[in-house]
Structure 1
Amino acid sequence: MSFETLGLSDAIVRAVKEAGYTSPTPIQAQAIPMVLTGGDLLAGAQTGTGKTAGFTLPLLQLLSLSKSAPANRTAARPVRALVLTPTRELAAQVEESVRTYGKYTNLNSAVIFGGVGINPQIKQLKHGVDILVATPGRLLDHIGQGTVDVSKIEILVLDEADRMLDMGFIHDIKKVLAVLPKQRQNLLFSATFSDEIKALADKLLNSPQTIEVARRNSTVEIIAQMIHPVDRDKKHPMLAHLIKSNSWEQVLVFTRTKHGANKLVEQLGKDGIGALAIHGNKSQAARTRALAEFKDGTLTVLVATDIAARGIDIDQLPHVVNYDLPNVPEDYVHRIGRTGRAGATGEAVSLVCVDEHQMLKDIEKLIKQTLPRQVIPGFEPDPTAKPQPIQLRSGGPGHRNQGERSGQGRSRGGNGGGAAARSGQRPAGAAPRSGAPARSGGGPRSAAPQRNGGGRGR
C-alpha cells in the first residue's frame, strides 16, 4: 500500500515522500481513510506505531480542501483544528509533523504550552492559525485572556488521552470541551482503553469507528531484555560499571522519582560520566538543552522520570536502563519502547533489587514472558536482604504523578536541581511518547526538533 492509495492529495504525499517515507504503517493505513470520511474515531495506538501521522495527514487534507481553506499562508484565518497533548515535548513534535507534512499546503500551525513566555504566543495567535497544538493548561490561559478564538474549531484531536487522564487533566479537558463548537469531528488516541478512557469516549465521540493497532514490532522480538539482580545500594555503581565496561555512548535511564534522578546525575558526574536529568522540576530551557545534547550525542546519559520521558523520540537509541522498575507495569513497555525503533535492535536492562520483585512479577505477567536474569560479577545481591516497602523510600508509588507537575531547573554532575517555575505558573508535567512510526518499511514519524521542548506548566 502507498500513501497515494489512501486518498491523500499530491501536495501532502509529496511532503511525506520528501520526509523519507514510502508506505504507511498499519495505524496510518486504517486511520487515514476513516478520518477522511469526517466521522469520529477512537484509536488504540502505542508509541512507535505512527499514530501522529495517522491523524496529522488526514487533518491537513480535510482542512486544505474545505471551503474555508485560506487562499494563501499569510491571509488571516480562524483556528479550525485543535490538537491537545499532555506534554510540551509531544506538543512540539506534533506541531513539527504538521509543518513537515503541510509544507506544500496553504495551512499554517502553532504550538502553545506553559513554562515559556505567553506574549510571543499571543502575537502568533493574533494573526490566526489553521491548526493549533496545545497543552490543556496553557490553552485555558489563552482562552481565559481572550487571546485565542476556538469558536470555529472543526476538528478536535485528543492525543495520548490515557496519559492526560493519568496526569490529572480531565477537568481541564472538560473546560476546553465546554467552549468548543458542538458540531465538530473528534479523534481520540490512547495507548490503553481503560474504563476512564471508555467513559471519556462515550461523552466525547459520536458513533465512532474504532481501531486498535499493536506496535509494528513487538518489544519481545526486537529488544533484548535483561534483568540484573542487585542490592539497592549497589545500583549506582553497577550502572557506572555497565556504562564504562560496555562503552555505552547513549543511554536513557529511568528513575522512579525526580529526587532519584537528580541524585543519580550527581553520582554519575563524580564517576566522570556526563549525565543530565529531565523531570518536572527542570526549567523548559534546561529540558530542551538536555534533550538536544542527548540527541546529538554529546551527552552520554539522560536520566528521566516516566512523565518527563514522554516526547523522547530518537531513532537508533541503543540502550534503555530501568534504574528503578516502574510502579505501573504498562510503563515498562513504554520505557523500553524508546529503543528498538526504525527496525534497529535495542537493549533494555533493568536493575532489580529485592524491593522490586513483585513489580517484576507484574511486568512479566503483562508481557507474558519470564525475563532472563544475569548476575554481574562483583555485584552479587545479598541473599539475606529483606525487602522494604517502596512507598517508604523516594516518595512512594504515588510520588510520580504528584511531583511531575511542578516547575523546573537543571542538574549536571552535581549541580542539583534547580530553578522553580515562575510564580503564578501552572504546574508543568512532561513526557515522552512521541507517536512516531519506525522508519523501516513504514510511514511518517512524528519527529520534531527540540527547540520547542515539552510539558504542561503555565
Structure 2
Amino acid sequence: MSAFEELGVCPEIIKAVEEDDWLLPTPIQAESIPLILGGGDVCAAAETGSGKTGAFGLPALQIVHESLRAAAQAAVVSMKPNQASRGCTLDEAARDLQICLGDGERCSCADSRGWRGVRGTAPVLAGKYMYEVEILSPGLVRVGWGTRLGKLEIGKDENSFGYGGTGKKSWNGRFEDYGVQFGAGDVVGCLLDRSNPDRGTVSFAVNGRLLGEAFVLPPALRNSALLPAICGKDFDARCRFARLEFPVEGFAPVANLKACDDARCLAGETPGKSSAGVQCLILEPTRDLALQTFNCLKKIGRYLEAPSIRVALCCGGDEREQRGEMAKGPHIVVGTLQKVSSCIHRGVLSVKSLKLLILDEADELVKFDALSEILKIKRAASVGSSRRMQVSLFSATLHTDDVRRAVEALTERPTWVDLKGKVTIPDTVHALICPVFAHEGMPFKSASLGRVEPKTDGIHAPSAALPRHSEQFASQRVKEIKPHLVVALADAFKMETCLVFCRTNLDCDNLELFLTSCGGGRKFAGKAESGKENPYSCVVLAGMRSQEERNRNLAHFKAGDVRFLICTDVAARGIDIHELPFLIMTTLPDDPDLFFHRVGRVGRADRMGLAICLAATSPEQMWFHRCANRGQGCRNTRLVKEGGCTIWYDETACLKAIEDRVGGPLPRMDAGNFSCPGIVDPLGVLGDSAGDNIRKRRPGASSETGEGATRRDASGAPGPVVYGKARNDQNLLSTMKHLQEISGAVSELEILEREMQKQFVTLAARGI
C-alpha cells in the first residue's frame, strides 16, 4: 500500500508521483493533502524545499478530476438509453510488440521466452459484463481484467487480475489455487460485476462452469475503469466480446457496454465545452514559478482520464497562444496575479465555476496592495452562486501582517498547518559565511587574478585611483574582490553546477561578463556536442531578460549545459532545481526571509547542499534607483537622501539580522583556504584525513543524538557528505568507503609514477 494512498490520493496520481521517486509524502504533504481533500480552507507554512507544490498540486488535481467525473456521469445518465454502444476490440495501441492481432478478436504470440499481453478497448466503470476467450493452441494463457495503468502481463501488479491455465489466480504478483486448469479447446469466461459501487468482483468460468468469486476489487480501484486483458507465452486465442458461447445470466457481453457504464463516454467532452469557467485557480508571484508549477501539474496529472484534466498557463508571453488555451476551456489555470486579473476583466477567462483558489508563495503575492485584486477575483467567482469557494495559502512564511490580513479576508475558519516553527536552516544545508576584507587584499588563490579585472557598477572609480583609507576605496575593493572570490570558490570546491545570487540585474550582467571572460571570452550560445566549451559557462535568470531567454537559460542549467546560473531574488523565487549542490550569495539580503528562500534552493529532497554567503566587513555603496526610468542611463551617484540613487549597504547589519532569526552565529570560512573546521576543507589544509578530497565533506560535530545528529561510522568518525546527493545513500557510502580504503595505494602509485618519469627523463638526457 502506497503511503500516499493513506492520505486519500487516487491511484492515477500515485502512479505518476511514484515514477518520479516520490515514495513518501513530506510532512507538509502529509498534513495538507487530507485537509484540502476534505474541503476546508488551509493555511500552510513550511520551509523552502519541503514539497509545498505537491501539497496543493495533488489534491487540486484530484478535486477537479472528481468534480468533472461526477458531472460527466450525470450527463451520461441523461443520454438516451438506446444510444449505440462503442463496442470492443483488441487494442493495437495497448499490446506488446510480439503480439499479432487479427480481425479485432484474434491474438497470437510465437515468443516462448516471456509473457506478452494485449488489452481490449472497452473500459468498464459500472454494471455486469463478461467476455470469453477460446484457447486455440497448447501455449500458456492468462485471462482477466486490468486498468490502463496496469502491466500487460496481467496479475503481476495491483492494477490487474488474472486467471491462468495452470489453475492459478493472480493479483499483485500473488498466485493462489483457483478453479481448474484449462488448455487448447477450452472456452474461459471472464466476468466483472460492478453493479454495487462499494463491492466490485471478478470471477471466471470454464466451458460454462462458474468457478466462483476470484477477486474483490480493492478500494483504490473502485473508480478506475477495467478493460479485458489477455497474456501468455507461445499461444493462440480468440476473444469473444459480442457473441458468447456460454452466456451467464445477468452479465451482458462487454461489446454491448452501455454509455453510462463506459469510461470513454466520460472522456468525450470536446474542447471548449467547459467554457463555463475554470475549476481551480493557482496564483504565483512570478512567471518562472508559474511555469514550474504548470509543468509539475501536467506531470502529476498525466494518468488522469475519463475525463482528462486540461491545465493552462496564464502569465504573459505569446498572447495569441494563451488566448487559444483559454478558449479550449481549461479546468485548472496557473498564472501570475496581474495576467490572470487582466484575462478575467477582458472576459477571456471565466471564474463562474471556480471551486478552489490557491495562493502559492502567499507572502510575496499579497505585497504591494495585491490583496484587493485577489479579493476582486474571489468576488467575481461568487457572483450569483451560493457555493463556498475553498481557499488555500502556502508559503515558507505566513506570519507577516500582510498575510494575516489576507487570511482573514479570504478564508473561513482555516486550518493552520505550521511546520515552519522557528526559522531554521534545513539540516540538509551547510550555510557558511565567507568574509570579504576590503583592506587585506585577496588571501585566496583564483584563476582570474592578474588575468581579468571585473567590471563593477560604476558608482566609484577603480580602487587604485581612490584614497586607501576612504569609505569609497573599501566599497570599490569589495566590488572588485567578490567576482574573483566566486571563481576561487568554484574551483576550490570543483563546483560542476552552482546557483549564484546577485542583488541587481546590473550585477548579474557584470558577473556574467566576468565569468565569460575568465573562460576565454566565448559566451554560451547553446548546448554543444563537446560539453561545456567555456570552463566558467554561465547564463542569467533576471527580470530584465525576456521570458523566452529566461526559460531557455533555466532549461540549459537544469540540463547541465552550463556551470553557473546567475539570478536575482525575484526571478529565482521558488525555482526547484533537482540535486543542486552549491549556491553562492554575492551579497547578503537585507530581508532575512529572502536569505532563507535563497538557502532553500539547495538541500532539497533530502540532498545535501552547500550555501556560501559572501559578506563584506565594511559598508558598500550600491544603486537604489528612485528615478523615473528605474536606472536606465542613470549616473546619479548621490545618496537617496541627497536626491540621488545610491545607498550605503551594511552587510554586517544584514548578517546580524539573519543570525538573530537563526538564533545563533553562522559558521565562518577561512577567507584564504575556504576551510571551516568540522564542516568543509576543500584544499585539505586541516588534515582531517589522508583520504580527504575536494568532493568529500565532513558534517559538523554534534553532541545530540537522533535525527539531527551527525552520522558516524564504526570507528566513531563523522560519515562523509557529498553535496547534491542524499544523506543516507548506501551506494554512495559504500563507494566512499572503498575510495578511502584505496586512497593510500593510489597515493603510493602517484609517487612511483612521478619517480619513474623523473628517472626516464634523466636517463634519456644521458643518452641511455
Is TM > 0.5 for Structure 1 vs Structure 2?
A: yes
Higher strand share: 2
Deviates more, 1:240-249 or 1:217-226: 217-226
Aligned-residue identity in percent: 34
Q: 1:266 aligns with which of 507, 510, 513?
A: 513
| CA positional deviation for 1:220 | 5.1
Greater radius of gyration (CA)? 2
Partner of 2:112: none
The answer to whether the Cα contact below 8 Å between 1:154 and 1:184 also exists between their aligned partners in 2 is yes
Partner of 1:33: 34
The structure with higher relative contact order (CA 8 Å, sep 6+) is 1
| CA positional deviation for 1:159 | 1.0
Give 1:269's aligned amino acid. Answer: T
| CA positional deviation for 1:167 | 6.0
If the length of structure 1 is used for normalisation, what is the TM-score? 0.78
Q: 1:319 aligns with which of 573, 582, 593?
A: 582
Does the residue aligned with 2:25 lie in a helix, a strand or coil?
coil
Partner of 2:354: 153
Looking at structure 1, the residues matched to 22 and 53 of structure 2 have their Cα atoms a distance apart, in angstroms, of 14
Partner of 1:62: 63
Deviates more, 1:255-264 or 1:220-229: 220-229
Matched, 1:10 2:5: no
Matched, 1:206 2:407: no
| CA positional deviation for 1:14 | 2.2
Give 1:305's aligned amino acid. Answer: T
Looking at structure 1, the residues matched to 727 and 338 of structure 2 have their Cα atoms a distance apart, in angstroms, of 36
Matched, 1:130 2:331: yes
Deviation per residue, 1:36-74 (Å, 9 max, x gap): 111111111232111111112122222222233582175
Partner of 1:118: 319
Partner of 1:143: 344
The answer to whether the Cα contact below 8 Å between 2:279 and 2:331 also exists between their aligned partners in 1 is yes
| CA positional deviation for 1:30 | 0.9
Looking at structure 2, the residues matched to 94 and 46 of structure 1 have their Cα atoms a distance apart, in angstroms, of 17
Give 2:394's aligned amino acid. Answer: F
Partner of 2:371: 170
| CA positional deviation for 1:178 | 3.1
CA separation of 1:167 and 1:20: change in aligned 2, threshold 3 A = farther
CA separation of 1:30 and 1:308: change in aligned 2, threshold 3 A = same
Partner of 1:391: none
Partner of 1:228: 434
CA separation of 1:238 and 1:440: change in aligned 2, threshold 3 A = closer
Partner of 2:400: 194
CA separation of 1:145 and 1:159: change in aligned 2, threshold 3 A = same
Looking at structure 1, the residues matched to 373 and 726 of structure 2 have their Cα atoms a distance apart, in angstroms, of 35
The answer to whether the Cα contact below 8 Å between 1:9 and 1:61 also exists between their aligned partners in 2 is yes
Higher helix share: 1
Deviation per residue, 1:132-166 (Å, 9 max, x gap): 11111111221222111111101111111101124
CA separation of 1:268 and 1:60: change in aligned 2, threshold 3 A = same
Partner of 2:84: none
CA separation of 1:73 and 1:107: change in aligned 2, threshold 3 A = farther
Partner of 1:255: 502
Matched, 1:339 2:635: no
Q: 1:363 aligns with which of 636, 651, 658?
A: 658
Looking at structure 1, the residues matched to 597 and 512 of structure 2 have their Cα atoms a distance apart, in angstroms, of 22
| CA positional deviation for 1:338 | 0.9
| CA positional deviation for 1:187 | 1.0
Does the residue aligned with 1:68 lie in a helix, a strand or coil?
helix
What are the equivalent positions in structure 2 for 1:385-400 lying under 5 Å apart?
none
Give 1:244's aligned amino acid. Answer: D
Looking at structure 2, the residues matched to 95 and 61 of structure 1 have their Cα atoms a distance apart, in angstroms, of 15
The answer to whether the Cα contact below 8 Å between 1:92 and 1:111 also exists between their aligned partners in 2 is no
Partner of 2:557: 294
The answer to whether the Cα contact below 8 Å between 1:95 and 1:109 also exists between their aligned partners in 2 is no
Matched length = 382
Deviation per residue, 1:9-39 (Å, 9 max, x gap): 2222222222322221111111111111111
Give 1:5's aligned amino acid. Answer: E
Give 1:91's aligned amino acid. Answer: A
Looking at structure 2, the residues matched to 439 and 131 of structure 1 have their Cα atoms a distance apart, in angstroms, of 34
CA separation of 1:347 and 1:261: change in aligned 2, threshold 3 A = same
| CA positional deviation for 1:326 | 0.6
Q: 1:219 aligns with which of 408, 420, 425?
A: 425
CA separation of 1:275 and 1:73: change in aligned 2, threshold 3 A = farther
Give 2:51's aligned amino acid. Answer: G
Partner of 1:328: 591
Partner of 2:299: 100
| CA positional deviation for 1:168 | 5.6
| CA positional deviation for 1:290 | 1.1
| CA positional deviation for 1:95 | 1.9
The answer to whether the Cα contact below 8 Å between 1:342 and 1:440 also exists between their aligned partners in 2 is no
Give 2:665's aligned amino acid. Answer: T
| CA positional deviation for 1:374 | 2.6
Looking at structure 1, the residues matched to 294 and 485 of structure 2 have their Cα atoms a distance apart, in angstroms, of 39
| CA positional deviation for 1:378 | 9.1
Matched, 1:47 2:48: yes
Partner of 1:351: 614
Give 1:84's aligned amino acid. Answer: L
CA RMSD of aligned residues (A): 2.4
Looking at structure 1, the residues matched to 489 and 537 of structure 2 have their Cα atoms a distance apart, in angstroms, of 14
CA separation of 1:79 and 1:239: change in aligned 2, threshold 3 A = same
Partner of 1:306: 569
Looking at structure 1, the residues matched to 558 and 404 of structure 2 have their Cα atoms a distance apart, in angstroms, of 36
Deviates more, 1:162-171 or 1:28-37: 162-171
Matched, 1:241 2:440: no
Does the residue aligned with 2:351 lie in a helix, a strand or coil?
coil
Structure 1, unmatched stretches of 5+, are 380-437, 442-458
Q: 2:282 aligns with which of 74, 83, 99?
A: 83
